[in-house]
């Protein structure tokens, strides 16, 4: 049987008060104890003076008053079923805490104090085990960033001298300063980190020129992009692509053998010829003039982006996708993008560069070479060099007229290349295949493709088309208050995020954005192509129409007539024979 | 972002590449303080910058004693002189929703737009001339839309008193690192829409003093926010993909937070295709 806890009568309790409950000094019978002289530390002290208690008017009888007090206290000592605490203890602890700490306006924050006391139950103050320090992922990232600032071991004075000479390392901080005048750019901390990261890149790769191209934002992580030109003769040759056409030729031979064996019955051959694959431009020319390295954050290793193919550029023009930040992420889109995010990133970089890399007029000039005419025939010059006699225009002129700026990257044609290539020009191997194919089936005449011509290199910006009524570029000086030290800043409206500045002989381009072109209209996804014709329809595979009931009856009637006619003829013949016989 | 934390805040949101030039930064401090004096605001927030074709608008917001009350908005072309914008009306929002394209940069520019609704065509006949909408009205409507859609604060930063007014929570010490990475720890700082639709079970766990706003978890489309840690994890930056250019930053375990808009003021309606 459950005995309610009664003070002093628990046989396991010693006479000395051990618990937090202040004990009455006088031993009394259960439920009939008087409230003896209270000690100062007991809660009843000073309260229940005979005749002055709060309930005296209700319970004048001291005995029942005591009983009421006992009941009240027993109620307060009841343990909660959910937490095991009881109100008596809690109030005692709370009041102890208040009296110890003496907060101001305790009555206003009494609920918070109550909460804190309850939470304190679960916190062990004395623990022999020390908490293991949390290793936050932020520490690792900080380590990597710190590593940028450490000088690699073994660097002697000689190397320092070489660096001070001609270094491909761009002065990122100087560029950042000029862009900052226009309100564009990353924080100085980040710019400095990028500066050091570029230095690390240069020390690892054999580069001739290097430039901080910009930053493209992504969903999970961002990309920091460096534009690099390799030293001549240092490029790695890619042998992977040469193997693929060899394999394809082998497959073609096998197919032909199989076809010869099965000439008796074969399903109709599809006459679909996929459009010829346009080969990508050589490394170092056209859209692949520069090599791009990306990293997610300064401090992480740089990854080289693969060269871009025209098919990727053509497809990138039709889709609009955010970058996730992982280079191996698939690009799920329609039309299906031939490649993963690294290829899509490279294609967008190529498009942005072609559209927005500009320089002040006169800074670059065409190199004078013999045989200029031949180069022009092929589609424009693609090399330029710095003009030693460059005279910079004033900032006001740079801002006022857009013809003071020129594009210095070749624009990409509709085909996806910078230099137009006729895909129908056949190499020797393909001509041989053609002769064999001609024996099997007549070829359709290939349509003549128009040569695509784009604007030549170094065209001024005034020829850039705007979108609807928005000009292609917005030009502003960086400040109207101090015009003599202002910087001319251009923002692209076609590729939001592309900026260029010019101040005296210094100029640069940069990109900060999400990597998409601006279009005032909503993006319309490409519609699926019409269903392709499977087989050439001929009489042997076309389904004939079933005859209707009338036709069948008519046919039947005609047949019967014919039969009847034939029978009559036989009868006649038979009759004639009989007559003859007779 | 709070005017008082402007320098620090601008450093932290600069990851997007767009910010303010030193000239603007220098003048904003004093000019926002003067705004506070002239209009008797309790708090002044630098809202951001909308880039037009020919110029840019710099926007500031002023808050009164009840932080959830409609805010006064001011714009400036050079961060020195500010003009008060008219309060927004539903009509303005509806009209501005039909406009497409960039802002021009001139506040008195008038857009012509063709009505397609039959109901509105009646209004046309009454006026006798084509309705025009001023760029100022478009500006107001755009700012209101952006604030309503993507203006966010961390959970616990604001408390609602039993009388209904909202004020900053002085006990807010910042979100922890794990909390800061979750979308549910951020609220839209506007009238809640989804709060009433929560089940009773969910509501029981909420604390009515701090959980009186909609969280970002159920934003449509899902994935319209990117959460990133910058500076090696020291700052948590949220960027909206619906209104490209809105950046929110928070330094975990501190009281620093704020959002700012640097962009063209156009909604990214292609978002579902881009995800």
Angstrom CA distances, A411 to A322, A460, A575, B65, stand at: 24, 13, 96, 56
Q: Do B274 and A320 touch (CB under 8 A)?
A: yes
d(CA A491, CA B220): 32
DSSP A219-259: SS--EEEEEEEEPTT-PPPP-HHHHHHHHHHHHHHHHHHHH
Instruction: Give contacts of B179 with chain A, Cβ < 8 Å.
Output: none
Tokens read off for A470? 């928005």
Query: If you measure CA to CA, which chain B residue comes closest to A139?
Result: B232
- Asked if the C-beta of B231 comes within 8 angstroms of chain A's C-beta atoms, the answer is yes
Angstrom CA distances, B211 to A345, A509, B147, B155, stand at: 41, 46, 19, 7
Three-state secondary-structure class, residue B170: coil
Our CA-based measurement puts residue A252 at a distance from the nearest CA of chain B, in whole angstroms, of: 39
Instruction: Give contacts of A184 with chain B, Cβ < 8 Å.
Output: 17-19
Dihedral sign for Cα A435, A439, A440, A444, please.
positive
pLDDT of residue A369: 54
Q: Which helix (H) or strand (E) holds A406?
A: strand A405-407
Residue with tokens 């076309």: A542
Nearest by CB: A217 against B23, B223, B239:
B239
pLDDT of residue A476: 85
Q: Do A513 and B228 touch (CB under 8 A)?
A: no
Nearest by CB: B17 against A189, A215, A481:
A215
Q: Do A525 and B273 touch (CB under 8 A)?
A: yes
d(CA A288, CA A238): 14
Three-state secondary-structure class, residue A184: strand
Q: Centre a 10 Å sphere on the Cβ of residue B63 and count the other Cβ atoms it contains.
A: 18
Residue with tokens 């623990």: A127
Task: Please state, rounded to an integer, the average pLDDT across all residues of chain B.
Answer: 84
Q: Do A141 and B233 touch (CB under 8 A)?
A: yes
pLDDT of residue A579: 59
Q: Do A320 and B51 touch (CB under 8 A)?
A: no
| E-strand stretches of B98-208 | 110-112, 132-134, 152-154, 158-160, 166-168, 186-188
- Asked if the C-beta of B173 comes within 8 angstroms of chain A's C-beta atoms, the answer is no
Task: Write a three-state SS string for A64-113.
Answer: HHHHHHHHHHHHHCCECCCCCCEHHHHHHHHHHHHHHHCCCCCCCCHHHH
| Radius of gyration for chain A, computed over Cα atoms and rounded to the nearest angstrom | 46
What single DSSP character describes residue A339? S
| N residues, chain A | 582
pLDDT of residue A203: 86
Nearest by CB: B20 against A141, A183, A217:
A183
pLDDT in tens, chain A (582 residues): 444 455 545 555 444 444 444 444 444 444 445 555 666 676 666 665 665 556 556 655 778 889 989 988 888 888 777 877 888 888 998 999 888 888 888 888 899 988 888 888 777 666 566 666 666 677 777 888 888 888 765 444 444 444 445 677 888 899 899 888 888 888 888 899 999 899 888 888 888 888 999 999 999 889 999 998 887 766 555 444 433 444 444 444 444 444 444 456 777 666 667 777 777 777 677 778 889 999 998 888 899 999 988 889 989 998 889 999 899 999 888 888 988 999 999 999 999 998 888 888 888 877 665 444 444 444 445 567 777 777 777 777 777 778 888 888 888 888 778 777 776 664 444 444 444 444 333 333 444 566 667 777 788 877 777 777 788 888 888 888 888 888 888 888 889 889 998 888 888 999 999 989 888 777 888 888 888 776 666 667 777 788 788 888 888 889 998 888 888 887 777 666 665 555
Angstrom CA distances, A336 to A218, A268, A318, A330, A547, stand at: 20, 28, 10, 10, 45
Give the residue from A468, A331, A471 showing the smallest Cα distance to A405.
A471
Three-state secondary-structure class, residue A307: coil
- Asked if the C-beta of B98 comes within 8 angstroms of chain A's C-beta atoms, the answer is no
Structural contact between residues A65 and A55, judged by C-beta atoms closer than 8 angstroms: yes
Q: Which helix (H) or strand (E) holds A351?
A: helix A341-356
Q: Which of A476, A496, A520 to probe the B interface (max B CBs under 10 A)?
A: A496
Query: What are the residues facing A510 on neighbouring strands?
Result: A499
d(CA A198, CA A203): 9
What is the band of B92 on the pLDDT scale with cuts at 50, 70, 90? confident
d(CA A447, CA A511): 40
Our CA-based measurement puts residue A521 at a distance from the nearest CA of chain B, in whole angstroms, of: 8
Q: Which helix (H) or strand (E) holds A377?
A: helix A372-377
Residue B222 has pLDDT above 90, yes or no: no
Nearest by CB: B101 against A470, A479, A497:
A470
d(CA B7, CA B13): 10
Residue with tokens 């994890």: B233
Structural contact between residues B51 and B103, judged by C-beta atoms closer than 8 angstroms: yes
Q: Do A322 and B274 touch (CB under 8 A)?
A: yes
Angstrom CA distances, A239 to A236, A245, A246, B118, stand at: 9, 12, 12, 65
pLDDT of residue A149: 84
The phi and psi torsions of A133 (rounded to 5 degrees) equal -65, 130
Our CA-based measurement puts residue B70 at a distance from the nearest CA of chain A, in whole angstroms, of: 30
d(CA B275, CA A505): 42
Q: Do A190 and B19 touch (CB under 8 A)?
A: no
Residue with tokens 């599809």: A270
d(CA A496, CA A226): 19
Instruction: Give contacts of B275 with chain A, Cβ < 8 Å.
Output: 321-322
Q: Do A187 and B11 touch (CB under 8 A)?
A: yes
The least confident of A127-136, A454-463, B91-100, B187-196 is: A127-136
Interface of B with A in 32-91 (CB under 8 A): 51, 53-54, 78
Query: If you measure CA to CA, which chain A residue comes closest to B11?
Result: A187
Contacts of B40 (CB under 8 A, 6+ apart): none
Q: Is B83 exposed, middle or buried (0-12, 13-18, 19+ CB in 10 A)?
A: exposed
With left for phi above 0 and alpha for psi between -120 and 50, is residue A516 left, alpha or beta? beta
Our CA-based measurement puts residue B264 at a distance from the nearest CA of chain A, in whole angstroms, of: 9
Nearest by CB: A138 against B100, B233, B269:
B233
pLDDT of residue A147: 83
Angstrom CA distances, A176 to A499, B25, B239, stand at: 12, 16, 23
| Terminal-residue alpha carbon distance, chain A | 139
Give the residue ranges of DSSP H helices in B20-117: 22-39, 90-97
DSSP A451-493: PP--PPTT-BGGG---BTTB-SEEEEES-SS-GGG--EEEEES
Instruction: Give contacts of A516 with chain B, Cβ < 8 Å.
Output: 274
Residue with tokens 């092929």: A378
What is the band of B46 on the pLDDT scale with cuts at 50, 70, 90? very high
Instruction: Give contacts of A512 with chain B, Cβ < 8 Å.
Output: 16-18
Q: Is A401 exposed, middle or buried (0-12, 13-18, 19+ CB in 10 A)?
A: middle
Q: Which of A112, A213, A322 to probe the B interface (max B CBs under 10 A)?
A: A322
d(CA A491, CA A471): 11
d(CA A213, CA A302): 14
Q: Which helix (H) or strand (E) holds A436?
A: helix A428-440
| E-strand stretches of chain B | 43-51, 56-63, 72-76, 83-84, 110-112, 132-134, 152-154, 158-160, 166-168, 186-188, 225-230, 235-240, 246-250, 257-263
d(CA A173, CA A180): 10
Our CA-based measurement puts residue A487 at a distance from the nearest CA of chain B, in whole angstroms, of: 12
Count how many Cα atoms sit within 13 Å of the Cα of residue B214 in the half-sphere of its side chain. 18
d(CA A137, CA A143): 10
Buried/exposed code over B84-115 (b: 16+ C-beta within 10 A; e: otherwise): ebeebeeebbebbeebebbbbbebebebeeee
Q: Do A514 and B244 touch (CB under 8 A)?
A: yes
Tokens read off for A453? 């011509």
Instruction: Give contacts of A138 with chain B, Cβ < 8 Å.
Output: 177, 229, 232-234
> Which pTM value belongs to this model?
0.72
Nearest by CB: B53 against A182, A215, A493:
A493
| Radius of gyration for chain B, computed over Cα atoms and rounded to the nearest angstrom | 19
- Asked if the C-beta of B210 comes within 8 angstroms of chain A's C-beta atoms, the answer is no
Instruction: Give contacts of B236 with chain A, Cβ < 8 Å.
Output: none
Between these two residues, B46 and A439, which has the higher pLDDT value?
B46
d(CA A496, CA B215): 30
């Amino acid at each position: 049987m459950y005995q309610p806890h009664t003070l002093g009568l628990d046989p396991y309790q010693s006479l000395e008060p051990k618990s937090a409950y202040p004990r009455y000094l006088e031993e009394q019978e259960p439920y009939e104890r008087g409230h003896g002289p209270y000690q100062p530390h007991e809660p009843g002290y000073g309260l229940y003076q005979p005749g002055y208690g709060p309930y005296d008017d209700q319970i004048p009888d001291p005995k029942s008053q005591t009983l009421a007090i006992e009941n009240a206290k027993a109620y307060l000592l009841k343990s909660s079923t959910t937490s095991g605490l009881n109100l008596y203890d809690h109030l005692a602890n709370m009041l102890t805490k208040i009296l110890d700490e003496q907060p101001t306006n305790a009555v206003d924050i009494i609920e918070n104090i109550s909460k804190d006391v309850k939470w304190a139950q679960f916190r062990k103050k004395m623990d022999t085990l020390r908490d293991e320090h949390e290793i936050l992922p932020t520490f690792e990232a900080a380590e990597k960033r710190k590593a940028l600032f450490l000088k690699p071991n073994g660097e002697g004075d000689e190397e320092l001298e070489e660096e001070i000479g001609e270094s491909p390392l761009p002065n990122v901080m100087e560029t950042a300063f000029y862009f900052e005048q226009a309100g564009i750019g990353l924080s100085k901390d980040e710019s400095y980190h990028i500066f050091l990261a570029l230095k690390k890149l240069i020390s690892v790769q054999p580069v001739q020129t290097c430039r901080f191209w910009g930053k493209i934002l992504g969903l999970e992580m961002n990309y920091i992009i460096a534009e690099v030109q390799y030293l001549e003769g240092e490029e790695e040759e890619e042998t992977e692509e040469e193997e693929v056409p060899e394999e394809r030729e082998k497959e073609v031979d096998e197919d032909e053998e199989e076809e010869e064996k099965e000439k008796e019955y074969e399903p109709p051959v599809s006459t679909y010829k996929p459009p010829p694959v346009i080969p990508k431009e050589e490394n170092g020319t056209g859209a692949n003039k520069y090599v791009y390295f990306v990293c997610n954050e300064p401090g992480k290793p740089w990854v080289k982006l693969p060269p871009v193919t025209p098919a990727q550029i053509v497809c990138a023009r039709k889709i609009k996708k955010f970058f996730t930040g992982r280079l191996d992420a698939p690009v799920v889109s329609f039309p299906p993008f031939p490649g993963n995010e690294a290829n899509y990133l490279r294609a967008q970089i190529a498009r942005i560069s072609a559209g927005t890399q500009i320089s002040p007029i006169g800074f670059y000039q065409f190199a004078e070479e013999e045989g200029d005419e031949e180069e022009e025939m092929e589609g424009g010059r693609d090399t330029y060099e710095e003009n030693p006699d460059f005279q910079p225009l004033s900032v006001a002129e740079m801002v006022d007229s857009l013809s003071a700026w020129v594009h210095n990257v070749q624009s990409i044609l509709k085909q996806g290349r910078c230099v137009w290539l006729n895909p129908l020009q056949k190499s020797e191997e393909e001509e041989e295949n053609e002769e064999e194919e001609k024996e099997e089936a007549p070829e359709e005449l290939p349509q003549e493709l128009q040569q695509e011509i784009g604007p030549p290199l170094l065209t001024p910006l005034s020829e850039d088309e705007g979108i609807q009524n928005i000009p292609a570029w917005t030009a502003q000086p960086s400040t109207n208050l101090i015009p003599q030290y202002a910087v001319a800043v251009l923002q692209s409206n076609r590729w939001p995020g592309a900026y260029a500045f010019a101040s005296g002989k210094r100029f640069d381009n940069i990109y900060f954005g999400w990597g998409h072109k601006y279009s005032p209209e909503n993006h319309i996804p490409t519609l699926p192509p019409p269903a392709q014709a499977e087989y050439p329809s001929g009489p042997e595979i076309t389904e004939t129409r079933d005859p209707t009931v009338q036709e069948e009856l008519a046919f039947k009637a005609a047949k019967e007539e014919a039969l009847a006619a034939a029978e009559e003829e036989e009868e006649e013949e038979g009759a004639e024979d009989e007559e003859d016989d007779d | 972002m709070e005017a008082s934390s402007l320098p620090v805040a601008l450093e932290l949101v600069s990851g997007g590449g767009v910010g303010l030039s030193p000239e603007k930064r220098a003048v904003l401090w004093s000019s926002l303080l003067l705004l506070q004096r002239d209009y008797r605001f309790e708090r002044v927030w630098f809202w951001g910058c909308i880039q037009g074709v020919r110029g840019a608008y710099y926007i500031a917001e002023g808050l009164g004693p009840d932080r959830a009350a409609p805010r006064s908005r001011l714009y400036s072309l050079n961060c020195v002189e500010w003009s008060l914008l008219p309060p927004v009306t539903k009509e303005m929002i509806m009209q501005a929703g039909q406009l497409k394209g960039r802002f021009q940069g001139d506040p008195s520019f008038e857009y012509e737009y063709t009505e397609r609704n039959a109901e509105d065509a009646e209004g046309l006949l009454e006026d006798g001339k084509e309705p025009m909408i001023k760029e100022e009205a478009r500006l107001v409507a755009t700012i209101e839309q952006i604030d309503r859609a993507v203006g966010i604060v961390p959970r616990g930063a604001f408390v609602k008193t039993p009388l209904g007014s909202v004020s900053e929570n002085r006990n807010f010490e910042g979100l922890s690192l794990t909390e800061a990475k979750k979308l549910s720890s951020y609220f839209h700082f506007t009238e809640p829409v989804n709060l009433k639709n929560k089940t009773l079970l969910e509501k029981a766990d909420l604390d009515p003093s701090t959980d009186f706003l909609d969280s970002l978890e159920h934003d449509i489309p899902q994935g319209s926010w990117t959460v990133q840690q910058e500076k090696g994890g020291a700052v948590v930056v949220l960027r909206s993909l619906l209104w490209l250019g809105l950046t929110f930053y928070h330094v975990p375990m501190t009281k620093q937070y704020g959002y700012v808009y640097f962009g063209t003021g156009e909604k990214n309606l292609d978002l579902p295709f881009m995800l």
